[in-house]
Amino acid sequence: MALHPDRLLPAEPGIRAIARRLYDGVAGLPIVSPHGHTDPVWYAEDPAFPDPAALFITPDHYATRMLYSQGVRLEDLGVARRDGTGVRPDGRRIWRLFAEHFHLFAGTPTRLWFEHSLELVFGIDERLTPQNADALYDRIAAAIATPALRPRALYDTFGIEAIATTDGALDDLAHHDAVRRSGWHGRVLPTYRPDAVVDPEAAGFAGNVERLLAMTGEPATWAGYLAAHHARRAFFKAQGATASDHGHPSAQTSNLPADEAAALFDKVLSGKADAAEAEAFRGQMLTEMARMSQDDGLVMQLHPGSFRNHNPSLFEAFGPDKGADIPKATDYVRALKPLLDAVGNDPALTLILFTLDESTYSRELAPLAGHYPALRLGPAWWFFDSPEGMRRFRETTTETCGFYNTVGFNDDTRAYLSIPARHDMARRVDCAYLARLVADHRLDEAEAHDLARDLAYGLAKKAYRL
Amino acid sequence: MALHPDRLLPAEPGIRAIARRLYDGVAGLPIVSPHGHTDPVWYAEDPAFPDPAALFITPDHYATRMLYSQGVRLEDLGVARRDGTGVRPDGRRIWRLFAEHFHLFAGTPTRLWFEHSLELVFGIDERLTPQNADALYDRIAAAIATPALRPRALYDTFGIEAIATTDGALDDLAHHDAVRRSGWHGRVLPTYRPDAVVDPEAAGFAGNVERLLAMTGEPATWAGYLAAHHARRAFFKAQGATASDHGHPSAQTSNLPADEAAALFDKVLSGKADAAEAEAFRGQMLTEMARMSQDDGLVMQLHPGSFRNHNPSLFEAFGPDKGADIPKATDYVRALKPLLDAVGNDPALTLILFTLDESTYSRELAPLAGHYPALRLGPAWWFFDSPEGMRRFRETTTETCGFYNTVGFNDDTRAYLSIPARHDMARRVDCAYLARLVADHRLDEAEAHDLARDLAYGLAKKAYRL
Amino acid sequence: MALHPDRLLPAEPGIRAIARRLYDGVAGLPIVSPHGHTDPVWYAEDPAFPDPAALFITPDHYATRMLYSQGVRLEDLGVARRDGTGVRPDGRRIWRLFAEHFHLFAGTPTRLWFEHSLELVFGIDERLTPQNADALYDRIAAAIATPALRPRALYDTFGIEAIATTDGALDDLAHHDAVRRSGWHGRVLPTYRPDAVVDPEAAGFAGNVERLLAMTGEPATWAGYLAAHHARRAFFKAQGATASDHGHPSAQTSNLPADEAAALFDKVLSGKADAAEAEAFRGQMLTEMARMSQDDGLVMQLHPGSFRNHNPSLFEAFGPDKGADIPKATDYVRALKPLLDAVGNDPALTLILFTLDESTYSRELAPLAGHYPALRLGPAWWFFDSPEGMRRFRETTTETCGFYNTVGFNDDTRAYLSIPARHDMARRVDCAYLARLVADHRLDEAEAHDLARDLAYGLAKKAYRL
């Protein structure tokens, strides 16, 4: 059951040998994690992690959605109901339930990340079964009580060089400030994520904007609102941020004349905007954010195309982020045009695009990124943060936009222990891809070594200005 | 020319050895065929098959469409014109024409199914050519006159454990009844396919509904119409049905208030509904059928996304199902939402989704099936019932929804002799996929053996409640 | 660095051996180039090529777009501004800049074409670097001054049997005429490309139509306009043309009654047509062109789905064809229906379809081409004229429409020196695909040899009626 040293490398012996050499050159590189969702309090206060279920199962929507799809109730996995009802099972019960259903994860990245973490962090090289569930639970529980498993120690164990969190525009970044003031050597960067004050359809939008304006002392006008964003971005930047992040339903952008934008702002703030106006406002704000990036140098990231909270009864009972966000067909060519017309030719701007619609890679994204100086492609994301997903990403983009219009790997996770597993997977899959190009005589091995280092380390650092 | 024992297994020797071991474990498993279009009269009356052309060519739209695309006239393949004109060639002439064009099938599954059947059923391991066409015709014609080639004997020869047919809602299921009453050991199940009484755009819709109501003694009201479906489903279930099947132009669903649904029913019955209303009615009926499945336990299957009878002059001359049904882009995320909002969280319901738009596998279908307890994914279907199609199905779904949100293989065929060939192909391709995961160290070989058995046999039996 | 004899063939030794044998059988076949954009003056006047940058870089939008995407200015690559401003660098400076950025092309077909040309035409087997840039520039510059590097000599060196150019409807084909009158043995065919007189949104449309009518002595009526096309097609055919080519924003077709078509013609000519009417007119003209093809036998090619000149500031500064044409999602099933209803069942017509939206291959194009006698699929085009693109083309079409509904390779290039490199790549990739089918026992090697010859040579000759 133990992790095989050649896992995820091509099985054909000749190609595997090349891939192995490439991988050996990057396996030990530091981890640069420019986009993710770990909790900054971990770095600020260095707490022990709670029990194994809370560490591996309950907060991981990849894990809970699979069990839910097969009839397991979320309550039984420790997911809290919004109304507070329901008995919350203890960690051991959740862990046993997970063990009973562990076969469901065969062939999924969740299984690979989980087993990587078990072995490399806890020294466990047995497959989880109902029979050994209790014993493994005890071993993990004992280990996470030790100082070596605290977040700051793991930061070093994992070889992290820098890690970004994702933070709302209204966040006071107190934990980031505490990290900096603590003198600890770790580098933890906030990321400006203004969705809650940008999306008129977000819960509490008007109140959020009110708070934004109050925090910055700006008036409730279009100019004041933009100035407030400027100020918050400056604050984030002062706390180390190098990037902003934008999760929108679509990639729609707008570039309205200032008076129309101002009128639209008034309307969305009044709560009277319809869906099309909300979409136009979000789109306008992407263009505004891109212009602010031209000024302040924050790298901009756009993650469109998820139908959030597709399951209303689940959303009502448990809230967002419970595995019911479903990708949808996404257009970039028409949608991004207003923004690109305005700023796409600026090589000083970096706008990183992600997708959940793989058909766009070869059709739209690689052609766009292979032309516009401002565009780069983010790595395979979410459901495609997987061996086949990453392979298809390279196969459908490289020939059109090359490697240097991509930005290395994002782990994009809130599961701290999975970070080395995810980076390791990406490094292996990229080395496998490069090895196939070498074996086909499309690349020399020497340049493949350089590319492997760039894909594993250099491109992320450069694209995110770290 | 003889069938190679390792056909369709990966060519790299190390992976092939794994695949071979996996395949050896499933090659002899019984065939469970939960969805298909064989003629129930075969099982009821056990007739001899007609001549070789009528067995292999004339009724097979995969075969006739390819020849038609290269300029062969359908009349010359024995396809009858609706108006009765035209001289129908004898079987031997059709067979010779097929032999002359046999090279067109290089690289297609039709060729693989055909050669598998020739060798395993008739012991013919020569490639069909114009030179040997007559001799092969004679051998096949002689064989199908023998008792060993009758449907019931082949049922045993093929190792079939259960086989479902597809039957209109108005069908009296007399053949199924005859099979049951005959005492024969074969298991032949009807499937409730109500399209002709559900789709306002189907030929003769109003008359069909009238017959449905007459058969069940229900009034021509929305409530009566639903009660009639209930009654027919109960009748099908009593005859062994475990599933319903729905072939719709799109995956659109609706969930209207009862009074609106009733008004819509009146309108579609009056023949005054427009295309949007027809679509809404079909969508409403999918949700109603799902609710009935919650009651009676029939597994529900949805096959959307085909533009039926795309070629009007061909349709006029020859009728439906002549190879002119063309897939189109299909949305599931928005389309299924009304149904899923109503019943998607019920683990007791099974709704199996199929697609002809592969881009939906990774983008929509695997994420939906990996979340909703009621959803499962049907196998690669129609044009994708092929080695590459099946491979892409696994590669684009497994990482997101695993193996256990899929339902094994459907042969979906009216070509009885091809059934073992089709199941064998699916088993080989799935074993090839699993072997690659083992060779990459993503799976252990032991669990791959279990998975191979589930994909070949267990999942179909379980999903279809057989 | 030298070209490996097994480049682009599968790395697994057993499959490579098969692929090698297949490739050996086609490597030396003549080049049939039925669709491309070389300049007919080359064949008429046999001039020396200018400097290396003008040969390899400045006119190649694959090269310039990649450098532009990474911040290099088009002016610095020698691309002329429309307004004549800017200092145009000399060829050596451009070449050095290209050498500095050559790593960007790792993994792209541009790199493979370039290195193939360097080695086979100039005997250079070093990788281009900033260090050797000047030396290579000098070698190439010296070589292109010699008679052996003139277009007519290269025609023979490259083994070209026939090559088509692409020519506007108003072109006098003087160079083609000169070639024919010269007695030179090369076969250079014009292709009728009427976009500028068919697309109401083309620059100068009304004036173009006026010239068309003047050239043919036809009146400015719908009937006159159609007669003018007839006449120009006859003229092209007399100069050797066997095909027409149509680059449209979408695949939309129309089939209006004659009076409506005539009224639409009047409207688009008046300049008062809106976008929908322009689209309808382009669509009508596709159907008209198909009807004319039924009469005169010209093979029809349709290249839809590019959003031309997506970058308006670049377009304004530099004009069209500078790398800012971006593919978009393309529908064929509904769009082609009016045309197919009219002429799709005619086996005497050949309409070759191309796509920039790969999702349509398995969903729409292969099913359509596998049914309609008039349809064939063009090869992987533009961004997909690449090893992975060609592989995916075969994998997503062959199982549904076979090999014989495809038409061999098009190089589609204006880069004369890349022609052998492009055909060689296609031959290698097709042999690799066939070898995998042989290794999987889906084909016999003997028939794979025949198929390889058809894909490399026979199908192009037959489909384009050469």
> How many Å apart are CA C86 and CA C74, to the nearest integer?
11
Of A97, A123, A148, the position where a domain reaches its end is A148
For residues B88 and B234, membership in a common domain is answered with no
Rounded average pLDDT over B213-222: 98
Question: pLDDT digit string (tens) for C307-325?
Answer: 999 999 999 999 998 999 9
Percent residues over pLDDT 90 in chain A: 98
Percent residues over pLDDT 70 in chain C: 100
* Collapsed DSSP state (helix, strand, coil) of residue C431: helix
Tokens at C110, concatenated: 């541009």
Q: What pLDDT, on a 0 to 100 scale, did the predictor assign at position B1?
A: 60
Q: Is residue B242 included in any domain, yes or no?
A: yes
> Which class for A139: exposed (0-12), middle (13-18), buried (19 or more C-beta within 10 A)?
middle
> Which class for B312: exposed (0-12), middle (13-18), buried (19 or more C-beta within 10 A)?
middle
Compute chain B's Rg from CA coordinates. 22
Q: What pLDDT, on a 0 to 100 scale, did the predictor assign at position C164?
A: 98
For residues C88 and C166, membership in a common domain is answered with no
- B16 in contact with C at a CB cutoff of 8 Å? no
**Angle of the C91-100 helix axis to the C61-69 helix axis, nearest 10:** 60
**Angle of the B133-144 helix axis to the B109-122 helix axis, nearest 10:** 60
> How many Å apart are CA C369 and CA C462, to the nearest integer?
16
- B17 in contact with A at a CB cutoff of 8 Å? no
Tell me which residue in B107, B310, B328 faces C437 most closely, judged by beta carbons.
B107
Q: How many residues does chain A have?
A: 466
| Number of B–C residue contacts, CB under 8 Å | 128
Contacting chains of C (3 CB pairs or more, <8 Å) are A, B
> How many Å apart are CA A48 and CA A143, to the nearest integer?
10
> How many Å apart are CA B61 and CA B323, to the nearest integer?
5
Q: Is residue A6 included in any domain, yes or no?
A: no
Rounded average pLDDT over B383-391: 98
Rounded average pLDDT over C378-384: 97
> How many Å apart are CA B306 and CA C3, to the nearest integer?
47
Tell me which residue in C11, C357, C387 faces A363 most closely, judged by beta carbons.
C357
Distances (CA, A) of C336 to B308, C21, C296, C354, C360: 15, 40, 21, 13, 13
Using left for φ > 0, alpha for ψ between -120 and 50, and beta otherwise, residue A45 falls in alpha
Question: pLDDT digit string (tens) for B353-369?
Answer: 999 999 999 999 999 99
Mutate to test the interface with B, among A315, A321, A326, A433 (most CBs of B within 10 A): A326
Question: pLDDT digit string (tens) for C16-59?
Answer: 999 999 999 999 999 999 999 999 999 999 999 999 999 999 99
Nearest residue of B to residue C329 by CA position? B329
Nearest CA to B163 among B216, B240, B74? B240
Of C128, C149, C170, the position where a domain reaches its end is C149
* Chain C residues with beta carbon closer than 8 angstroms to that of B112: 442
ipTM of this complex prediction, to 2 decimal places? 0.97
Strand-pair partners of B375: B351
Is B371 within 8 Å of A69 when comparing Cβ atoms? yes
Residue whose structure tokens are 């279930």: B237
Residues 181-210 (A) with a CB less than 8 A from some CB of B:
none
Residues 378-407 (C) with a CB less than 8 A from some CB of B:
395-396, 398-405
> How many Å apart are CA C355 and CA C301, to the nearest integer?
11
Rounded average pLDDT over C123-133: 97
- A328 in contact with C at a CB cutoff of 8 Å? no
Q: Is residue A330 included in any domain, yes or no?
A: yes
Q: Minimal Cα–Cα distance from C433 to chain B, Å?
A: 10
Rounded average pLDDT over A367-391: 98
Question: pLDDT digit string (tens) for B43-55?
Answer: 999 999 999 999 9
DSSP H or E run through B164: strand B160-164
The alpha carbon of C433 is separated from its chain's Cα centroid by a whole number of angstroms, namely: 22
pLDDT at C1 over 70: no
CATH number for the domain spanning C213: value is 3.20.20.140
Q: Is residue C6 included in any domain, yes or no?
A: no
CB atoms within 10 A of CB C162: 19
> Which class for A184: exposed (0-12), middle (13-18), buried (19 or more C-beta within 10 A)?
middle
Question: pLDDT digit string (tens) for B124-165?
Answer: 999 999 999 999 999 999 999 999 999 999 999 999 999 999
**What's the maximum distance between 2 C-alpha atoms anywhere in chain A?**
67
pLDDT at C237 over 70: yes
Q: What pLDDT, on a 0 to 100 scale, did the predictor assign at position C248?
A: 96
For residues A274 and A186, membership in a common domain is answered with yes
Mutate to test the interface with C, among A253, A440, A453, A455 (most CBs of C within 10 A): A440
Nearest residue of A to residue B339 by CA position? A311
With the C-alpha atoms ordered B132, B134, B136, B139, is the resulting torsion angle positive or negative? Answer: negative
Nearest residue of B to residue A315 by CA position? B341
Rounded average pLDDT over B218-245: 98
> How many Å apart are CA A14 and CA A26, to the nearest integer?
19
Q: Are B448 and B434 in contact (CB under 8 A)?
A: yes
In sequence order, the 6+-apart residues with CB closer than 8 A to the CB of B462 are none
For residues C457 and C402, membership in a common domain is answered with yes
For residues C287 and C428, membership in a common domain is answered with yes
For residues B33 and B87, membership in a common domain is answered with no
CB atoms within 10 A of CB A133: 19
Nearest CA to B3 among B128, B132, B126? B126
**Angle of the A13-24 helix axis to the A445-453 helix axis, nearest 10:** 50
Question: pLDDT digit string (tens) for C270-303?
Answer: 999 999 999 999 999 999 999 999 999 999 999 9
pLDDT at B88 over 90: no
Contacting chains of A (3 CB pairs or more, <8 Å) are B, C
For residues C207 and C320, membership in a common domain is answered with yes
Of A148, A183, A200, the position where a domain reaches its end is A148
> Which class for A250: exposed (0-12), middle (13-18), buried (19 or more C-beta within 10 A)?
middle
Q: Is residue A56 included in any domain, yes or no?
A: yes
For residues A55 and A18, membership in a common domain is answered with no
Question: pLDDT digit string (tens) for C311-366?
Answer: 999 999 999 989 999 999 999 999 999 999 999 999 999 999 999 999 999 999 99
> How many Å apart are CA C169 and CA B190, to the nearest integer?
61
Q: Are A281 and A195 in contact (CB under 8 A)?
A: no
* Chain C residues with beta carbon closer than 8 angstroms to that of A345: 311, 313-314
Q: What pLDDT, on a 0 to 100 scale, did the predictor assign at position B32?
A: 98
Q: Is residue B342 included in any domain, yes or no?
A: yes
For residues A179 and A231, membership in a common domain is answered with yes
Is B327 within 8 Å of C395 when comparing Cβ atoms? no
Strand-pair partners of B245: B301
* Collapsed DSSP state (helix, strand, coil) of residue B28: coil
- C444 in contact with B at a CB cutoff of 8 Å? yes
Q: What pLDDT, on a 0 to 100 scale, did the predictor assign at position A1?
A: 59
Confidence band of A412 (pLDDT split at 50, 70, 90)? very high
The mean pLDDT value of chain C amounts to 97
> How many Å apart are CA B367 and CA A66, to the nearest integer?
10
Residues 45-84 (A) with a CB less than 8 A from some CB of B:
65-66, 68-71
Strand-pair partners of B189: B164
> How many Å apart are CA B201 and CA B247, to the nearest integer?
13
For residues B341 and B247, membership in a common domain is answered with yes
Q: Is residue C8 included in any domain, yes or no?
A: no
For residues B267 and B416, membership in a common domain is answered with yes
Question: pLDDT digit string (tens) for C405-420?
Answer: 999 999 999 999 999 9
Question: pLDDT digit string (tens) for C154-194?
Answer: 999 999 999 999 999 999 999 999 999 999 999 999 999 99
Tokens at B407, concatenated: 């339902």
Confidence band of C88 (pLDDT split at 50, 70, 90)? confident
> How many Å apart are CA C319 and CA A282, to the nearest integer?
32
- B305 in contact with A at a CB cutoff of 8 Å? no
Confidence band of C2 (pLDDT split at 50, 70, 90)? confident
Count of structural domains, chain C? 2
* Chain C residues with beta carbon closer than 8 angstroms to that of A395: 388
- A368 in contact with C at a CB cutoff of 8 Å? yes
> How many Å apart are CA B465 and CA B242, to the nearest integer?
6
> How many Å apart are CA A273 and CA B161, to the nearest integer?
60
Q: Are C326 and C310 in contact (CB under 8 A)?
A: yes
Nearest residue of C to residue B5 by CA position? C441
In sequence order, the 6+-apart residues with CB closer than 8 A to the CB of B184 are B43, B152
For residues B123 and B231, membership in a common domain is answered with no
Question: pLDDT digit string (tens) for B192-209?
Answer: 999 999 999 999 999 999
- C315 in contact with A at a CB cutoff of 8 Å? no
Q: DSSP of B418-459, one letter per residue?
A: GHHHHHHHHHHHHHHHHHHHHHTTSS-HHHHHHHHHIIIIIH
Q: Is residue A4 included in any domain, yes or no?
A: no
Tell me which residue in A15, A341, A370 faces C65 most closely, judged by beta carbons.
A370
CATH number for the domain spanning B114: value is 1.10.2020.10
Residue C140 lies in domain: 48-149
Is A364 within 8 Å of C328 when comparing Cβ atoms? yes
